Amino acid sequence: VHGVGGTWGALATGLFASTAINAGGGNGLFFGNPQLLALQAGAAGATAAYAFVVTWVLFKILDKAMGLRVADEDEVMGLDLTQHGEAGYNW
C-alpha cells in the first residue's frame, strides 16, 4: 500500500511539477521538462531496489536464526489451531 502510494507520488511530481506553484523547483513532463520525470522514476526504482535487498537480507537472517516456516504437520492441521490454540472456523 505505502509503496504504491509513494511511487505514484514520486512519479506524479515528475509529471505535474510546475515552477508557477514552486519557483524554487522545476517543471515536470507536462510543463516541458521530461528530465524531472526520469529523475523521479530513477529515484523510485532505486528505492524499490533498496527495499527489496534489505527485506531479502532480513528474511535470510530470520530464516537462519529461527526459521520462517512452520512444520508440515502444523500446516495440515491448521495454523489457527496449532499456533493459537483455537479453531478459526466452525464448519
Q: Where are the domains of the chain?
A: 2-84
Task: Indicate whether 91 pLDDT > 80.
Answer: no
Single-letter code of the amino acid located at 58? L
Please compute the mean of the pLDDT values over residues 66-71 and round it to a whole number. 93
pTM value is: 0.77
Task: Indicate whether 5 pLDDT > 80.
Answer: yes
Which grid cell is 72? 508440515
CA distance 2 to 44: 12
